Amino acid sequence: MTITKSAVTAVPVHELIAERWSPRAFNSHAVSQDQIHALLEAARWAPSSYNLQPWRFIVWNRDDNADTFDKVYATLSSSNKAWVANVPVLIGVFADRRGVDGQENGAAAYDTGAAAFSLVLQAQALGLHAHQLGGFNRSELQREFAIPDDIVVQALIAVGYQGDEALLRDDLRAKEQAARSRRSLNEIAFTGQWGHAF
């Protein structure tokens, strides 16, 4: 069975946002090249400071090249390995830290996060699911794929079709079934002054 985990919101928000969540149960159904193209295109049109577009991506599609996919898989933490085992596509997210006039781009991570989330929402719009991951060995990935020094490894995004939660390991199934939670709005949003709840 596949689960839906709509956000419980105080006021309505767009269904792309409300329905998006990060499942661990994926099936191995392939993601098409056209779909991957659309994900990258969505990311490409993200806004960025000075329009520097610091985001970079590497697509690892198990169907295209199982060997390179396995090299990425080997960098994952053991708990991530357990659920990524079925995932057909991993996308590496990188930020170019070089800014204007030889300065560091202080907005590189911020902008790259925006592009990554555009990609995630486009996946949702296509009926796919995307689950971002930080639990992997960044320096191993950087070395294995000869990522230049100016490029910062940010995250991986698992992309595919949602699978049967019954097939997950017990501890992962418990997480899959747990309610999604968020801080309350008055903790994260203020009016006029710091600490004055919205």
Determine the 3-state secondary structure of 159 from DSSP.
strand
21 contacts ligand FMN (rule: CB under 6 A): yes
172 closest CA partner among 3, 25, 19? 25
Answer for which of 50, 65, 104, 134 binds ligand FMN (CB under 6 A) is 134
Q: How far apart are CA 184 and CA 164, in angstroms?
A: 31
Q: Which amino acid is at 20?
A: R
133 contacts ligand FMN (rule: CB under 6 A): yes
Smallest distance, ligand FMN to C-beta of residue 80, A: 5
85 closest CA partner among 19, 172, 20? 172
Smallest distance, ligand FMN to C-beta of residue 76, A: 8
Q: What is the DSSP letter of 102?
A: G
x/- map, 32-51, ligand FMN, by CB under 6 A:
--------------------
132 contacts ligand FMN (rule: CB under 6 A): yes
The sign one gets for the Cα dihedral 120, 125, 126, 127 is: positive
Answer for which of 52, 71, 98, 135 binds ligand FMN (CB under 6 A) is 135
- Considering the complex, state which of residue 22 and residue 35 has its C-beta at the smaller distance from ligand FMN: 22
Smallest distance, ligand FMN to C-beta of residue 182, A: 8
